[in-house]
Amino acid sequence: MQNYGKKKGEGKDDQKIYQKMQPYLDKAIHNAELLEESNKRNDTDNPSTKIHLLIEYLQIYSL
């Protein structure tokens, strides 16, 4: 993503960040699910945030 940075003022506070990232949401959720499966096989939860579960939950109720 162009002009994205971790510091304030470098794109992170962009008011349209969701609209810019939305096309990648399904792929991101899929990748998070794959990571979770891998973590289960390896008996770990690192790295993991499980944020994809929250996003899927919110998507159900945003319709």
pLDDT score for 6: 62
pLDDT score for 32: 95
How many domains does the chain fold into? 1
Q: How many residues appear in the chain?
A: 63
H/E run at residue 27: helix 25-41
Confirm whether 10 is domain-assigned.
no
**Tens digits of pLDDT across the chain (63 residues):** 666 666 665 555 667 778 888 999 999 999 999 999 999 999 998 988 999 999 999 989 886
Confirm whether 3 is domain-assigned.
no
Confirm whether 11 is domain-assigned.
no
Q: What is this structure's pTM?
A: 0.73
Confirm whether 9 is domain-assigned.
no
User: d(Cα 43, Cα 24) in Å, to the nearest integer?
Assistant: 28
User: d(Cα 48, Cα 15) in Å, to the nearest integer?
Assistant: 26
- Its domain, for residue 24, covers 17-61
Tokens 């971790």, residue located? 6
User: d(Cα 38, Cα 35) in Å, to the nearest integer?
Assistant: 5
Confirm whether 6 is domain-assigned.
no
Q: Are 21 and 1 in contact (CB under 8 A)?
A: yes
